[in-house]
Homo-oligomer: A and B are copies of this chain.
Amino acid sequence: MLIVQKYGGTSVGSAARIRRCCRRIAQTVAAGHQVVAVVSAMGRTTDRLIGLAHQVSSAPPARELDMLVANGETITAPLVAMCLQDRGLPAVSLSGPQAGVLTSNHHSRARIQEVRPTRVLEALDQGRVPVVAGFQGATEDFEITTLGRGGSDTTAVALAAALGADVCEILTDVDGIMTADPRVVPEARLLGHVTYEEMLELASVGAKVMHPRAVEIGELYGVPIHVRSSFHPRPGTMIVSQVPMENRKRVRGVAQDLDVAKVTVLGVPDRPGVAAAVFEPLAEAQISADVIVQNVSTQGHTDLTFTVAEADLERSLALVGPAAARVGAAGVSHSAGLAKVSIVGTGMLGTPGIASRMFRALADAGINIEMISTSEIRITCIVERGGAAAAVRALHRAFELDQVALAPA
């Protein structure tokens, strides 16, 4: 098999950890596979570089910040390559540009436009392990760019797609995707498989294992993604298009997000363009409005509610207030200290009774629901933050997630 293995910042956080990663790469090669390694910056390197930037500049320009932080990954890659060679395994490090990662010119949040993996393929042909610096690329003009959040995951999956790799392994500091946060639900189980869609819903509501961008690329190009621990060899969670039938439960997991505030625009006139007028200023300010709910209107007016990260609440109110006045809304109310609790699962679609079972479980646990929002594979309730843990536990129990089949060892 051709396997792309991505090692995150914690996994390569010290010389000793780099040696452990290399042992794993060597074991994978010894098992008869071809390996392409994609590596992140060591531990806090990126933060240290950004700290230096802020010591010399009050507002470091994105282009120079990219030039600076890209060094984090180009430090790790040669260290891994020389460590592999020290083990007798031929290897060669490649920067993102050398590996053919071609991006847009949006510094600090560039999008991969194409991967031209000529040198990666050459190295594989020569029996060498290519060690690619993640998170970075170059424009056609050879300007260095970085990919923003989740960038190394994105490099790994995009490279796996370009190479037609059999699997992209994301080696991380957790065992895989769990049915719930094990710190909240001690009986949480590891999921053997999830679909790309489920992973996207789980990630976007708080399971911060992998960035949604990388999952989307995986789905688009059909790259099987294996999220697993870099600390032990046991299988983790496969992210695939179709979950094997025997593993199916209607509800696959319970996700939580404890950083939620809500804003309600009251008495909004029921006419076209109102929602756009409210959300455009937020988008321009790079504030992500998450759950958005608008009820049917009564007497030509309705209420429009959305959630934001609590840190964005003040800025949101400053923007939404004037926008609400302009569209003739009656006013704006808000509250903080909320949480989002979601059940996720492709099998929910077309299965009657899932929602009512969720609401009943929360009611029996004495938890009040402030807002409800649903997608085809997710039902989200906004609750008081103080009740979130109890809500997650109640839902985990109600949907019998402690009885999920374990991944084959």
Binding site for B on A (CB under 8 A): 15, 18-19, 22, 49, 52-53, 55-61, 63-65, 67-68, 70-71, 74-75, 77-83, 85-86, 92-93, 95, 97-98, 142, 144
Contact = CB atoms under 8 A, between A and B. Distances in A.
Contact of A75 (B57, B71, B82, B83): B71
Contact of A68 (B49, B56, B78, B92): B78
Contacts of A82: 53, 56-57, 60-61, 64-65, 68
A86 B56 CA distance: 8
Given A56-B83, A64-B81, A71-B71, 17 more contacts: A15-B55, A18-B56, A19-B56, A52-B79, A53-B82, A56-B82, A57-B83, A58-B86, A60-B82, A60-B86, A64-B78, A64-B85, A64-B93, A65-B78, A67-B93, A67-B95, A68-B79
Nearest to A143: B98
Nearest to A83: B56
Contact of A57 (B61, B77, B86): B86
Contacts of A78: 53, 64-65, 67-68
A71 to B, nearest CB: 4
Contacts of A53: 78-79, 82
A56 B79 contact: yes
Contacts of A55: 15
Contacts of A95: 67, 144
Contacts of A15: 52, 55-56
Contacts of A60: 82, 86
Contacts of A92: 63-64
21 contacts: A15-B56, A18-B56, A22-B56, A52-B79, A53-B82, A56-B79, A56-B82, A56-B83, A57-B85, A59-B86, A64-B78, A64-B85, A67-B81, A68-B75, A68-B79, A68-B82, A71-B74, A71-B75, A74-B74, A97-B142, A98-B142
A213 B72 CA distance: 31
Contacts of A144: 95
* In the A-B complex, the 8 residue pairs with the closest CB atoms: A15-B55, A67-B78, A56-B83, A57-B86, A57-B82, A68-B78, A64-B78, A64-B82
A64 B68 CA distance: 20
Given A15-B55, A18-B56, A98-B142, A85 B68 contact: no
Contacts of A85: 57, 61, 64
Residue of A79, A80, A83 most packed against chain B (CB within 10 A): A79
Contacts of A59: 86
